[in-house]
């Protein structure tokens, strides 16, 4: 009797092979011949000696005083200490909305909510000096954990729609800058000039603001470059090629210094806002080219089919072409966002106290810290790596959810 005639036997043959036991996997993949065995032993030896040296330096030899003695400076710069509750309220709002997103969409938002909670818990219990080590600050970090959980409980309710959560995020992008800046002297929210902002706060404002503003602008420029209207097409091409032809430092100088010379005296744009504008238009030009690559990958037959069923040009672009184009270039777009996040360090050129500039200022503030540059730069690099990895992780999860490269 053949396998096809015997359903039980055919079903058994169709089952995937059982996973190998660890010892068997090691034998087959790492020690299956002499050459691989030697490479495995050399790799293990290198990992052991390098890892031991790194751990001994990090936990025994390194002097982390420039980091542990000034943690608030790294977080918010010279933001008035009596107004730090406004930064705390902003973080509490972000924690609550992250929890709501977790409850509504699960998936990747669950990972971000858990990572945010773990990070805040570490900040709440890690040994540190100064104001970060005070009981009030520690309690504040830890109180974000129930805020995430409450957001999750609310977001998981059926009456809370995804539109409500999106509206909450959009409202927060307007509310948080208003809360941090204030309304004026003599009020509950006294005005805090952005020149006093600094550290990770400014880095995230430049990065998040640049990403949120440059993405829709880049999409419009990509569509404009493919437009049949000559004026729109020429403007889009000129903007994209002009911006991509100069370094970001030049854009920052023009937006922060030269732009002020052409504005009337009564019109003054905030320095941080000028830097944000410069980074936004720079990133938008590169995002436009990434999106244009996705648009060119869409077969012309899909556009013809959309028109055949009665869709106009706007509907075809919005519902047929653009979703597929963006799906195809997710890695390139996220790579541009990661690059923008790291490029925020260039704001030091125009006297913006972002995270790296704060680290350099702390090194110069004490003679004992002058020889500890390596520790400070390693700390700053670790912070940038964590946020860059989170964006890369989100990109991979989004690609897996959308089936990029699978169908």
> What is the pLDDT tens value at each position of the chain, 407 positions in all?
455 555 555 455 556 667 777 887 888 888 888 888 999 999 999 999 999 999 999 889 998 888 888 888 898 989 998 888 899 999 999 999 999 999 988 888 888 888 889 888 888 887 665 556 577 778 888 899 999 999 999 999 988 888 899 999 999 999 999 999 988 776 778 989 888 999 999 999 999 999 999 999 999 999 999 988 999 999 999 999 999 999 999 999 888 777 777 777 777 788 888 899 999 999 999 999 999 999 998 888 888 888 888 888 889 988 889 999 999 899 999 999 999 999 999 998 888 889 999 999 998 888 888 888 999 999 999 999 999 999 999 888 888 888 776 65
- As a whole number of angstroms, the distance between CA 110 and CA 372 comes to 38
Q: Is residue 271 within 8 Å of 350, Cβ to Cβ?
A: yes
Using alpha carbons only, give the angle 216, 217, 218 rounded to the nearest 5 degrees: 90
Q: Is residue 345 within 8 Å of 356, Cβ to Cβ?
A: yes
- Give the tokens for residue 348: 């030091």
Does the pTM surpass 0.85? The reply is yes
- As a whole number of angstroms, the distance between CA 26 and CA 250 comes to 53
DSSP track, 193-253? -GGGB-HHHHHHHHHHHHHHHHHHHHHHHHHHHT-S-HHHHHHHHHHHHHHHTS-HHHHHH
User: What is the CATH code of the structural domain delimited by 72-402?
Assistant: 1.10.3720.10
- As a whole number of angstroms, the distance between CA 359 and CA 131 comes to 17
Backbone phi and psi for residue 46, each to the nearest 5 degrees, phi listed first:
-65, -45
């Amino acid at each position: 009797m053949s396998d096809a005639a015997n359903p039980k036997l055919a079903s058994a043959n169709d089952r995937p092979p059982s996973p190998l036991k660890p010892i068997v996997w090691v034998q087959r993949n790492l020690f299956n011949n002499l050459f691989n065995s030697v490479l495995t032993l050399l790799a293990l030896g290198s990992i052991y000696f390098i890892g031991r040296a790194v751990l001994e330096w990090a936990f025994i030899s390194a002097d982390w005083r420039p980091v542990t003695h000034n943690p608030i400076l790294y977080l918010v710069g010279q933001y008035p200490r009596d107004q730090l509750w406004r930064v705390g309220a902003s973080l509490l709002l972000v924690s609550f909305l992250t929890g709501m997103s977790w409850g509504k969409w699960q998936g990747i938002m669950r990972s971000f909510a858990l990572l945010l909670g773990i990070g805040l818990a570490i900040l709440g219990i890690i040994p540190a000096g100064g104001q970060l080590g005070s009981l009030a600050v520690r309690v504040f970090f830890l109180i974000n954990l129930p805020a995430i959980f409450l957001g999750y409980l609310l977001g998981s309710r059926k009456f809370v729609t995804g539109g409500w959560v999106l509206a909450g995020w959009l409202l927060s992008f307007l509310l948080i800058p208003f809360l941090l800046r204030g309304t004026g002297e003599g009020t509950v929210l006294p005005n805090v000039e952005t020149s006093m902002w600094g550290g990770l706060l400014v880095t995230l404002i430049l990065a998040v603001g640049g990403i949120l503003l440059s993405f829709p602008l880049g999409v419009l420029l990509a569509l404009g470059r493919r437009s049949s209207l000559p004026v729109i097409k020429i403007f889009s091409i000129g903007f994209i090629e002009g911006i991509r032809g100069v370094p970001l430092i030049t854009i920052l100088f023009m937006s922060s210094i030269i732009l002020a010379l052409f504005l009337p005296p009564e019109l003054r744009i905030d320095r941080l806002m000028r830097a944000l504008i410069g980074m936004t238009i720079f990133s938008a030009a590169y995002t436009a080219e990434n999106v244009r690559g996705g648009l060119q990958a869409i077969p012309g037959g899909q556009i013809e089919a959309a028109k055949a069923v009665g869709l106009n040009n706007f509907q075809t672009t919005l519902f047929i072409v653009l979703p597929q184009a963006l799906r195809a270039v997710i890695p390139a777009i996220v790579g541009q966002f990661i690059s923008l996040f790291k490029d925020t360090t260039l704001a030091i050129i125009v006297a913006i106290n972002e995270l790296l500039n704060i680290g350099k200022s702390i090194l110069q503030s004490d003679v004992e810290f002058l020889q500890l540059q390596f520790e400070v730069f390693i700390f700053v690099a670790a912070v940038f790596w964590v946020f860059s990895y989170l964006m890369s992780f989100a990109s991979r999860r989004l690609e897996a959810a959308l089936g990029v490269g699978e169908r």
